[in-house]
Structure 1
Amino acid sequence: MKLSARIAAPAAALVLAGLTATACAPRTSDTGAKGDEKTGTLRVWLFQEVGNKPKEKVVDAAVADFGKAHKGTKVEIEYIPVETRAQRVKAAFNDPRSAPDLIEYGNTDTAGYVKDGGLADVSAEFGAWADAKDTDPTAKQSVTVDGRIYGAPLFVGVRALYYRTDIFADLGIAAPKSQAELISTAKKIHREKPGLYGLAVGGAYTYGAMPFIWANGGELADAGGGSYRAAINSEKARKGIAAYTSLFGDDNCPAAKCAAMGGNATVTAFASGKAAMAIGGDFSHAAVEAGTVKGRYAVVPLPGVAANSVAPAFAGGNNIGVLKSSGHRTLAVDLMKSLTGKRTQAKMFDAMGFLPTYTDVRAAAAKREPFVEPFVRTLGAGAKFVPASPAWGQIDTSLILPTMFQEIVSGRKNVADASDDAAKKMDAAFADVG
């Protein structure tokens, strides 16, 4: 993930060793490991969270289990502030001698890191691992490049529709069951209660807009011949773009206020009582609970085009991978399994609310915590992922899709012209990575 699946966290204390990354690192001349030591110190970089202590406890327990089975080893975990992740990963890829053995990384970065020669191929070990057989297919896809496995999923995050139960009751309306009903409901609420956004949307909220494109049968890009070609300007994709951008305007979410909003801003608008609906993740639950709408909201899957269907959601999340430069490959793979196995993911859900990537562990979590149910249902209906290309990092950081949405909602371009321009930029990025 990049941090698309959750709200990113600024700094907390350094502890035992860890990180993540979104930027692509330059390709190094030699990232191959020298040997496979069976003892010694393993270094791990993990994401630093807002309120990191619960995560530390879960990680410490996994490390302790690993230590019992691997005498003569030591594990150092470092929690890296998200803001410095790109520089740290670049340095690690460029200087294998100072690199850690494992890193936590956003799942949209897999292809880029593989191209840069940073991640080890663990296909054989993953395939023989008993836990892995219950991995959600979309989560498995997020560690797969050209049919090979480069890590293990740590958690998955998806978005669904948060809505105000008190507002809906006051207006005598029910949760929308189709995309058309979602749009008309949003505009009805704003008409009846002009102080509220009917549905908070953001011109910079790429992962909130994708379900509209996918629900209409569109794709971001098509794969073929070992490469990708933009599909954002197909007729089906344009229907989804038109549906999403129709929610910007004085009849729902004014473009002057909403065009620049990202995912965090839309969730904040909902949590603070400024919106009757918002597209938020399972990872947004704590923020909404801490807001003024606590006790006055519910969550349902974001509806698709057909009545009672579910719009495909982006499957965000994080993975843990072994660096190709690690001199402790066998130990590092075993530690990766300990940090991402079923037992650890169940504990991580209880501690942090991160959705497990194993279908059976996730089902058990949903029974313990009812708020998870609509997100599990969303995943079960079929979540989707971004193109498994190292170009995606460039496309994302270049804000190609947000620029497209903002050009449309500002009136500078129509859907056809804006999507054609976005497709040209995407194709240039795909061509640039070969």
Structure 2
Amino acid sequence: MRLRLAAAAALALTITACAPSTSAPAPGATDGGPRTGALKVWLFDEPNRAPKEAVVKEAVTEFTAAHPDTTVDVQYIAVDTRSERFKGAFNDPASAPDVVEYGNTDLPEYATAGGLADLGAVVGNWPEGADLAADAKASATYRGTLLGVPWYLGVRALYYRTDVLAELGLKPPATLAELTSTARAVRAAKPDMFGVAVGGKYTFGALPFVWANGGDITSIDSAPSRAGLTAYTALIAEDNCPPQNCADLTGGKTVELFASGKAAMGILGNFNRAAVDAGAAKGRYAVVPLPGLTAGSIAPAFAGGNNLGIMKNAQRPALAADFLTLLASRKYQARMYDAMGNLPTLKPASAEVVAKDPFVKPFVDTIGAGTRFVPLDPGWGKIDASAVLPTMIEKVATGKATVDEATTEAAKLIDEALTP
């Protein structure tokens, strides 16, 4: 398959709808507009918004103290309808906010619409900008233009039951091959337990196997990609996680299996900690980075997360840049971790949260080893909405197609969806 777009580094938020198409480059946001008055900010609403809102209020208080005659109007918008809200703001400058939070997989849609400002100069002039993780920064860059500041990330690592492995005399896997052998050993010794919870519909559990083998989404029918898919689907088998139980499992279902004590291992996110601690596995598990092909290596993980950006139609771009860099600073990234468990994108902030909470070290180490991302192309929305990758995995897991057949079919659909 012809490689049309390199995948960059980084929750996956589904790209929806179709924004107005313009190709004009986004203007910079280093200067311009009144430096007083009301700054408009859109942030995502959360199921439990209070802790996030408290941190944001603290940042607003600090900002307004340093910017006399300025107010900050923060609106919390629903994630499910964000695409429509952004599309309206792109078309109507009068309704556009100044600073926005958006999902990093939303970037191609918004960039194609020409609705976001170029933040290259903002980050270049921001002393803390040099501390941004390179892969996170790449996931906020569209065709060479930085259109956001990565605010937080979420990645997956390997959770394992310390008591089960100790009972069986097993160590945490140091390679992907050892992950398979360890999972099979658990299943053989404990037939009522899955070795590692995996699922045919768990795209972001499967992709590290593909990436670790040198494959990619945009070359899914290549030999390295097929090797990774073969390794992953081999785990959806009677000797680990039987197809009748696991072929249609989503990532959420694998979390439930591990949390409930029905699986000895699981590829779960830092954001799944509360769910695991609410189940039977609480107090009986640990986490290590998902290993790669060789001992000491780490399999690349998908880095989902959210960015902070400035609207092209912002009325106060210079003031917006000041507020954005304050909210994205080490100080407030660390506070957002305390409030919401969001992994920072600034290296000093990451080090700070690891020092306070060693649980997150495997996830921070995973980020440090290099993360991957979905294709930064408007066509990714179609690929995601059509479930091209989970359908491919599930067909192999259920025996409806060979790895070669399934990847050939998926490659055609991916290639057709991505921009030439």
For normalisation by structure 2, the TM-score amounts to 0.92
Q: Paired residue for 2:396?
A: 408
Q: Paired residue for 2:347?
A: 359
- 1:130 Cα deviation after fit: 0.4
Q: How does 1:45-56 map to 2 (within 5 A)?
A: 45-56=42-53
- 1:30 Cα deviation after fit: 11
| CA–CA distance in structure 2, aligned partners of residues 335 and 30 of structure 1 | 28
| CA–CA distance in structure 2, aligned partners of residues 423 and 260 of structure 1 | 21
1:154 to 2:147 alignment: no
1:428 to 2:413 alignment: no
Aligned residues of 2:377 and 2:418 also touching (Cα < 8 A): yes
Q: Paired residue for 2:167?
A: 170
SS of match in other structure, 1:252: coil
**Could you list the runs of 5+ residues in structure 2 that have no partner in the other structure?**
1-9
Q: Paired residue for 1:292?
A: 280
| CA–CA distance in structure 2, aligned partners of residues 102 and 397 of structure 1 | 28
Picking from 324, 327, 338, the partner of 2:315 is: 327
Aligned residues of 1:24 and 1:90 also touching (Cα < 8 A): no
Q: Paired residue for 1:90?
A: 87
Count of residue pairs brought into register by the alignment: 406
Q: Paired residue for 1:12?
A: none
- 1:248 Cα deviation after fit: 0.8
Picking from 86, 102, 118, the partner of 1:105 is: 102
Aligned residues of 1:21 and 1:89 also touching (Cα < 8 A): no
Aligned residues of 1:154 and 1:340 also touching (Cα < 8 A): yes
- 1:24 Cα deviation after fit: 4.8
| CA–CA distance in structure 2, aligned partners of residues 179 and 322 of structure 1 | 41
| CA–CA distance in structure 1, aligned partners of residues 22 and 72 of structure 2 | 28
| Aligned alpha-carbon RMSD (Å) | 2.0
Question: Which amino acid in structure 2 is aligned with residue 123 of structure 1?
Answer: G
Identity %: 50
- 1:21 Cα deviation after fit: 7.1
Picking from 207, 212, 217, the partner of 2:209 is: 212
| CA–CA distance in structure 1, aligned partners of residues 203 and 50 of structure 2 | 31
Change (3 A) 1:375 1:112: same
| CA–CA distance in structure 1, aligned partners of residues 96 and 21 of structure 2 | 13
Q: Residue by residue, what CA displacement relative to the aligned partner does 1:350-371 show, whole Å, maximum 9, x if unpaired?
A: 1111111011210121111010
Give the stretch that moved more between structures: 86-95 or 150-159.
86-95
1:376 to 2:353 alignment: no
Q: How does 1:228-377 map to 2 (within 5 A)?
A: 231-377=219-365
- 1:94 Cα deviation after fit: 3.5
Q: Paired residue for 1:224?
A: none
Q: Paired residue for 2:186?
A: 189
Aligned residues of 2:298 and 2:369 also touching (Cα < 8 A): yes
- 1:29 Cα deviation after fit: 6.6
Q: Residue by residue, what CA displacement relative to the aligned partner does 1:177-210 show, whole Å, maximum 9, x if unpaired?
A: 1111101211221222122221111222111111
Q: Residue by residue, what CA displacement relative to the aligned partner does 1:144-164 show, whole Å, maximum 9, x if unpaired?
A: 112211111111121100001
Q: Residue by residue, what CA displacement relative to the aligned partner does 1:66-120 show, whole Å, maximum 9, x if unpaired?
A: 1112222221222223222233223333333323222211112222211111211
Aligned residues of 2:21 and 2:112 also touching (Cα < 8 A): no
Q: Residue by residue, what CA displacement relative to the aligned partner does 1:323-362 show, whole Å, maximum 9, x if unpaired?
A: 1111111111211112211111011111111111011210
1:22 to 2:19 alignment: no
SS of match in other structure, 1:198: strand
Q: Residue by residue, what CA displacement relative to the aligned partner does 1:32-65 show, whole Å, maximum 9, x if unpaired?
A: 89x7233322222212223221111111111111
| CA–CA distance in structure 2, aligned partners of residues 24 and 137 of structure 1 | 29
| CA–CA distance in structure 2, aligned partners of residues 37 and 261 of structure 1 | 52
**Could you list the runs of 5+ residues in structure 1 that have no partner in the other structure?**
7-19, 222-230
Q: Residue by residue, what CA displacement relative to the aligned partner does 1:203-258 show, whole Å, maximum 9, x if unpaired?
A: 2211111110011111222xxxxxxxxx1110001000111111112222222332
After TM superposition, which residue ranges in structure 1, 4 or more long, deviate above 4 angstroms? 28-33
Q: How does 1:119-158 map to 2 (within 5 A)?
A: 119-158=116-155
Aligned residues of 2:254 and 2:266 also touching (Cα < 8 A): yes
SS of match in other structure, 1:82: coil
| CA–CA distance in structure 1, aligned partners of residues 93 and 275 of structure 2 | 39
SS of match in other structure, 1:54: helix
- 1:28 Cα deviation after fit: 5.5
Q: Paired residue for 1:11?
A: none
Picking from 107, 112, 115, the partner of 1:115 is: 112
Q: Paired residue for 1:5?
A: 11
